[in-house]
Structure 1
Amino acid sequence: MNKFNEALNRIDEKNSEDPHKELADGKTYPKELLYSERMTKQLLEFKPEASEELQIAARAQHICRWQTPREDYPMTRVGYLNWRNDLKKEHAEITAEILKEVGYDQDFIDRVSFLVQKKKIKKDAESQILEDVICLVFLQYYLDDFEAKLKEDHKEDKMLDIIRKTWAKMSAEGHEAALKLALPDKAAALVNRALS
């Protein structure tokens, strides 16, 4: 097996340990394994020629995410931002360790770490592609669930705000891909309202 496939397999093995489960197409998956598979699928649809570094970064985007629960941080904006920053670092460290073990050189590892941490979005082409893919996966698979979890109070306003913020992170090419997604009816209606 080559280094690339070995790296993907090891990322999948880590994500298979997720105790949280999610149902998709009548089958139960470890939550982060399913997310990583969706990231790879979306990336290859969006950018079939994506580099190995970008493909690995997409697959490892949420690696072992359950090990750092949101509840461990204050339920404030600052708490949320600290949680997100700690996650990025942890994802990069776990991925770097895997890449080192399978024999990648330091330059390759550094590039994947840079991408996993989504540095220089809007300035670095691959970081922007990764951000677009994250947003596409969110819109396609997680928008409905997210909406269901919000409290009724100002729910629609919050959803429209989230969609607009997601849209602002994306490139023009990402917007084009998002408008072609086959979204569930409720999600499609929200997106249309947010963008009108």
Structure 2
Amino acid sequence: MSKSTEARFKKTLEDFDAINREDPHQELVNGQSFPKELIYGIRMSEMLMETYPDSDELLRLAARCQHIKRWAIPREDYPMDRKGYLLWRTKLKQFHGEMAGKIMEQNGYTEEDIKKVDDLLNKRRLKTDPGTQALEDVICLVFLKYYFKEFIHKHEHEEPKLVGILQKTWNKMSVKGKEKALSMPHSPEAKELLNKALS
């Protein structure tokens, strides 16, 4: 990146983070409280660069704003069934794309750049676009590393559901993503579920 491009990129990340700092939901990290979506965005960026260090600028932006202002559209606003869940997820992806696009436009990105990030966030061309697949890998890896343990405790008496979720997560990942997932440290409970899901 040129100096001007680097400055634009950093400013856009800062703008994404400024919005996510407003998240009323907090998460404890090493005994310190942080806005939940701010931490999620940072984890996404770190995992992307760890797994796909050659990622381009637009993919790096998409990773950071994956959950931008997610709390504005609560799950409870939609029916608590499969159809309601899918509607909620679709609405979120549209919302994240629109919000990211406005911030990118303010920072001088082209319509083409904005469209690319919107495509990434909405998972268009998942099986044909390497960037979209890389983003999907990172989403799955961040879930497994930071959120699956809590998910296990929440659904501790629903083993078939947990195994099914792991299998769906596994099917979304590329070979590289799966290799990374297997190389990460997991709790004994997570390891046991992973073994059952993959057997």
Q: TM-score range by the shorter chain?
A: over 0.9
Q: CA deviation at 1:145?
A: 1.0
Unaligned runs of 5+ in 1: none
Structure 2 unaligned residues grouped into runs of 5+ = 1-5
Match runs of 1:10-29 below 5 Å = 10-29=15-34
- The 5 A counterparts of 1:143-162 are 143-150=148-155, 152=157, 155-162=158-165
* Corresponding position of 1:107: 112
Compute the displacement of 1:151 (Å).
Answer: 6.4
CA deviations on 1:68-94 (whole Å, 9 max, x unpaired) are 000000111111110000000000000
Work out which of the residue numbers 157, 170, 174 in structure 1 matches 2:173.
170
Query: What do you get for the CA RMSD once the two structures are aligned?
Result: 1.1
Q: How does 1:57-96 map to 2 (within 5 A)?
A: 57-96=62-101
Deviating above 3 A after TM superposition, structure 1's stretches of 4 or more consecutive aligned residues are none
- The percentage of counterpart residues that share the same residue type is 47
Deviation at 1:184, TM superposition (A): 2.2
Q: Which moved more, 1:59-68 or 1:180-189?
A: 180-189
TM-score of the superposition, structure 1-length normalised?
A: 0.96
What residue number does 2:147 align with? 142
Q: Partner of 2:60 in structure 1?
A: 55
- Bigger shift: 35-44 or 186-195? 186-195
Counterpart position of 1:36: 41
- The count of residues paired between Structure 1 and Structure 2 equals 194
CA-to-aligned-CA distance 1:34-78 (integer Å, 9 cap, x gap)? 111110000000011100000000000000000000000011111
Aligned equivalents of 1:89 and 1:127: distance in 2?
A: 15
Q: TM-score, normalised by structure 2?
A: 0.95
Paired AA for residue 188 in structure 2: D
Equivalent position SS for 1:22: strand
